Amino acid sequence: MKIAVVGMGFVGATVAAGFAEKGHDVVGIENNLERYTLLHKGKIPFYEPGLPELFIRNVAEGRLRIEKETAEGVKDPDLEAILIAVGTPPLPDGRPDLGYVEAAAIEIAKSLDHYAVIVEKSTVPVRTGDWLRNIMQKYIQCDFDVAACPEFLRESTAVNDFFNPDRIVIGTDSRKAFEVLSELYRSLGAVPIIPMSIEEAEITKHVSNAMLFQRIAVAQTVSQLADALEFDYEHVMKGVGLDRRIGPEFLKAGLVGGFCFPKDREAFVSILNDAEGYAGLFESVGEVNERQKQCVVDKIINMIEEEICGFTTGIGLKRIGVLGLSFKSNTSDVRLSPAIDIIKKLHKYGANVIVYDPQAMEEAKHLGRTDSNYKFLLDITYCNNAYEVAEQSELLAILTEWKEFADLDLGRILPHVRQIVDARNLFDPMRMKNLGFEYDSMGRPLK
């Protein structure tokens, strides 16, 4: 089947390369000149394990090509589906900005001269399908259908998630469109395909992410209680997770960040508010996550045994080493990263922050150069590895769960820094104590 994917960001590039790997003829469309240039050279402009190899192989074997102009990408008369995977960043009120979706839809409508299914892959509000159809009808000169197929890819495991989906959701009111998309997705194997309306498909993505975020918030709350009452939250959540009705996934009490959960939670809250529903539960989920970040900062300050005013007045400045900038391991994405938020708080208190991340340092520097709210990222010290950070620090904070950090030679670190705050629970507390570290983690206090 011939398909086009508009937008070569995290979702679009993965979907385009994945379908090409399954034998489809795919054209990826990227209007951003800088990103297009990189992709045309076979370079992925972000870190995602396995994606560069997948992308390069399918370009080399002729199943995937990249175009800069939408008109070039959709002119093939045999093209059957056009997947819109552009960004939907949050507006100040939490609603998604559909400007990129609108621009893509107008360009498609002006260029398309034969029937195709226009597919929402971006996370969008309910009833975006009707809005999209109305926009395109102003410009288009041929028949078309609109459908919604939300993606459930996770950054850091996107390639595996694409090829091994739990389910495929297809939302459309057109039998013809459903048959086209069913044929496309059947190439992934025997995966449950769930038909529904466009509106139902749109809201399915929001509800899925909202529920996952809520589960993590429960674990975060228990970890905060565990610190206060001195029990091990991991033992509790293991007992909870073995309940078949609940399961062990998303019961870790670390830090939630990245673009999807916070953005989609805000969007879902706005949907509930617009419908005069009760949004308090999901508003609280976000508040719990913000409190978890402050808990990490409080642990750092308590371990240093300095008053906050000691930081803000510049008295006795401390060198805080930070391991991790990305919002989770195996991605270079620093958008809405809890590590960035924690560093901002530490920097505001006057700490000298020294950092290392295996993949995300260039994106952090770029964020500091392009967004005035993150200028502090240009003031911190960047190192080549974790051991360099340890050598220059008085306290080490682990903020991202990279395997590289879990595999650290602790004996090599101990002579330089003995205080560690582990926000990702990478190490066993008793082992750290026996090695001679002053160690704190999330919800696992040593009695």
pLDDT at 304 over 70: yes
Please tell me the distance from the alpha carbon of residue 83 to that of residue 106, in angstroms, as a whole number. Answer: 14
Main-chain dihedrals φ then ψ at residue 35, nearest 5 degrees: -70, -40
Please tell me the distance from the alpha carbon of residue 256 to that of residue 265, in angstroms, as a whole number. Answer: 12
User: CA 406: distance to chain centroid?
Assistant: 21
Tens of pLDDT, residue by residue over 58-81, are 999 999 999 999 999 998 999 999
Question: Is 260 annotated as catalytic?
Answer: yes
What superfamily would CATH give domain 239-441?
NAD(P)-binding Rossmann-like Domain (3.40.50.720)
Amino acid letter, 336:
L
345 CB-near residues (< 8 Å, 6+ apart): 293, 294, 297
Q: What is the pLDDT of residue 281?
A: 78
Average pLDDT score over residue span 13-25: 98
Average pLDDT score over residue span 333-352: 92
Q: What is the pLDDT of residue 128?
A: 93
Instruction: Report the 10 Å Cβ neighbour count for 130.
Output: 12
Reported confidence tier of residue 161, pLDDT bands at 50, 70, 90: very high
Q: Tokens in use for 327?
A: 């919002």
User: CA 272: distance to chain centroid?
Assistant: 23
Q: What is the pLDDT of residue 359?
A: 96
Topology of domain 2-196 in CATH is Rossmann fold (3.40.50)
Reported confidence tier of residue 51, pLDDT bands at 50, 70, 90: very high
Tens of pLDDT, residue by residue over 33-46, are 999 999 988 899 99
* β-bridge pairing 168-171 and 381-382: unpaired
| DSSP string over 314-379 | TTT--EEEEE--SSSTT----TT-HHHHHHHHHHHTT-EEEEE-SS-HHHHHHHHHH-GGGGGGGT
Reported confidence tier of residue 313, pLDDT bands at 50, 70, 90: very low
Residue of 433, 412, 411 lying closest to 422 (CA atoms): 433
- CATH 3.40.50.720 residue spans of the chain: 2-196, 239-441
Residue of 334, 339, 338, 440 lying closest to 395 (CA atoms): 440
Residue of 83, 40, 300 lying closest to 170 (CA atoms): 83
Amino acid letter, 410:
L
Q: What is the pTM of this model?
A: 0.81
pLDDT at 126 over 50: yes
Reported confidence tier of residue 307, pLDDT bands at 50, 70, 90: very low
Instruction: Report the 10 Å Cβ neighbour count for 425.
Output: 20
Please tell me the distance from the alpha carbon of residue 186 to that of residue 318, in angstroms, as a whole number. Answer: 57
Reported confidence tier of residue 317, pLDDT bands at 50, 70, 90: low
Q: What is the pLDDT of residue 314?
A: 43
Tens of pLDDT, residue by residue over 240-283, are 899 888 877 766 776 777 777 777 878 888 888 888 888 887 78
Query: Given 149, 260, 295, 383, which residue is catalytic?
Result: 260
Work out the percent of the chain whose per-residue pLDDT is above 90: 72
Amino acid letter, 355:
V
Reported confidence tier of residue 315, pLDDT bands at 50, 70, 90: very low
Q: Residue 396 forms beta bridges with which residues? A: 321, 420
Contact 325, 357 (CB under 8 A): yes
User: CA 259: distance to chain centroid?
Assistant: 5
Instruction: Report the 10 Å Cβ neighbour count for 121.
Output: 20
Please tell me the distance from the alpha carbon of residue 1 to that of residue 79, in angstroms, as a whole number. Answer: 8
Task: Please provide the average confidence, as pLDDT, over all residues in the chain.
Answer: 91
